[in-house]
Structure 1
Amino acid sequence: MTIDDPASATPFRYLDVDDPARSYEDLLRAAPRTQRSPVWFGPDTTQWFGEVPVPSDLAVAVGEHDPAEVLSRWWPGPCPDGCACLDPYTGAFPPLIRASGTDRSRRRATLAEAVSFGREAGDLASLAVVDAERPADVPAALGWCGVINYPHQDLVGLSAVLRSWEERFGATLVWIGGFTLVLVVADPPRTREESERVAAEHFAFCPDQIDPQDGREPYSPRSYAREIRRARLWKFWWD
């Protein structure tokens, strides 16, 4: 395995390997020990790094954030009287589903699901390794500016939410682009209630999830929940 530009001060390195999917798997399994997490970069992604300050001790800073508080603060509600755009959660942000349960972040199935994405990434992505102890911390470690046009530019809070999704749903950040994050989900919501609660989290996390941008009417958590129920891929795009 060859790491490009080993003297660089950047928090990431591209990897020159014969079998990127296998290297991704090895790196992902070793990440808690090496404190370096693999991720796939989209084309021209690196120009969007380094624009947001990174805490000196990122892991501690992320751990100090309560994901429920972060999402509640970012929640676009409550709806005005008569509005149903956040139906069925037109008032306060709902409690997190699976908030106190099994940590799914390092399960065998979670790692396997993330690795499966790499086998299909092909020419659409380049493999890199980032100075971050877990994939959830990657956006903050890179100073990623994909959310720079939005009021909430708190990458530490964003990574805290990603950590929570790793633990509750086995959702691993696998791909990062200029304005896009892709997560592979090993244990997605399976019931209507779970899916609607997760839909509310997605709306707080990324306001553009409301608009499918394919000619359909904007989603509510209730209609969006049908899209993510049992879905193994979560994609977030900030316009």
Structure 2
Amino acid sequence: MTDAERDLRRLLPSGDPSAVADLLPTGRLVSPGEDEEGLAPVLWLSDGPAPFGLWEELHREHPRSGLWPLLLAPLRAGEEEFRPWGTGELSTVSASEPDWYDPAALLRTGWEYSTLVDSDGESLDPQESSELGRSVAPFLGGWPGTAPAAGSVGDPDGAARALARELCAGDAGLRIGLVAAATGAEALTACGWCGPVNHEDDIAKVSAVLLDWERRYGTRLVQAGFAELELSVPAPPEDAGSALRIAAEHFAFCPDNVFQGAGTLTEYAAGLVGAERWSFWWD
């Protein structure tokens, strides 16, 4: 048994790591909070950059291995510590489970919180309300509800592999991670990712929304960073109207995409039409 297979059996005792062990470069297991002893590993992390094409091979073997591959990015390019992955800045202590939650209710709550209070939890003053109104128009009347599911999701796995190739070609510093999870959405909870902690400290709620998007739009989580996510989208909206409803969901999920990005839902929605990639970033 190779060192890689031995490590992967610790990560997922009931899986078949032999399906991918021989594909892997050198790497190591990571546990939440590396300064603490006795915590089970939640992630296998490559020591160096992800070889081009490896994500796709690992993704094809996922049904056998039970290990979801992630392209992992550090907080800062070139940093030796490779935070948060290499430093174990992960937490599974307080995580609930994604299937505890209704994604539509989570999105409604996210919308209401982001449109009724400021970052400190205080009610918006008149000037802030006016600025917010310009940002979330034309939904000034309140949460518009979740958008309809795509009529067809095409080839979700093919779209995910295409995005992985694009991301690896554009960033030579990405590493490979493996998590014992059925989907990329669930991998975030399983490994204890803490990216949106200033917006949401229960990552299972984030996973619940991502799982819903997997079902409705065929999205797949391909890359995760310190506080960023990259999703493949095989069935992007084809017109401004449908894109606007999805933009409202994105705002409810990650308001920084609008507040610190496009500025308004209308402008943000324009960027979603035909886009085969969704990116999220939390301050």
TM-score tier, shorter chain, comes to 0.7 to 0.9
TM-score calculated relative to the size of structure 2: 0.70
Match of 2:238 among 173, 190, 197: 190
Report percent identity of matched pairs: 29
Q: CA, structure 1 residues 234+201, in 2 after alignment: closer, same or farther (shift >3 Å)?
A: same
Structure 1: 5+ residue runs without aligned partners? none
- 2:136 maps to what in 1? 86
- 2:51 maps to what in 1? 20
- 1:50 maps to what in 2? 90
Match of 1:11 among 42, 45, 57: 42
Give yes or no for contact 1:206–1:236 (8 Å, CA) kept in 2: yes
Where in structure 2 are the equivalents of 1:115-154 lying within 5 Å?
Answer: 115-150=164-199, 152-154=200-202
Give yes or no for contact 1:24–1:118 (8 Å, CA) kept in 2: no
Determine if the alignment matches structure 1 residue 234 to structure 2 residue 278. Answer: yes
TM-score calculated relative to the size of structure 1: 0.81
| Aligned amino acid, residue 93 of structure 2 | P
| Aligned amino acid, residue 203 of structure 1 | F
Structure 2: 5+ residue runs without aligned partners? 1-22, 32-39, 75-81, 117-123
Q: CA, structure 1 residues 224+191, in 2 after alignment: closer, same or farther (shift >3 Å)?
A: same
| Distance in 1 of aligned mates of 2:145 and 2:203 | 22
Give yes or no for contact 2:50–2:71 (8 Å, CA) kept in 1: no
Larger RCO, structures 1/2 (Cα 8 Å, 6+ apart): 1
| Distance in 1 of aligned mates of 2:99 and 2:155 | 17
| Distance in 2 of aligned mates of 1:42 and 1:219 | 26
Which structure would you say has the larger Rg?
A: 2
Aligned-pair RMSD on alpha carbons?
3.0
Deviation at 1:107, TM superposition (A): 3.8
Q: CA, structure 1 residues 236+108, in 2 after alignment: closer, same or farther (shift >3 Å)?
A: closer
Give yes or no for contact 2:179–2:187 (8 Å, CA) kept in 1: yes
Q: CA, structure 1 residues 145+17, in 2 after alignment: closer, same or farther (shift >3 Å)?
A: closer
User: Residues 57-98 of structure 1, C-alpha deviation per residue, up to 9 Å, x if partnerless?
Assistant: x7xx32332211111111123698763321111233222223
Give yes or no for contact 1:17–1:23 (8 Å, CA) kept in 2: no
Q: CA, structure 1 residues 106+31, in 2 after alignment: closer, same or farther (shift >3 Å)?
A: farther
Match of 2:210 among 139, 149, 162: 162
**SS of equivalent residue, structure 1 residue 37:** strand
Give yes or no for contact 1:184–1:233 (8 Å, CA) kept in 2: yes
State how many pairs are aligned.
229
| Distance in 2 of aligned mates of 1:227 and 1:130 | 31
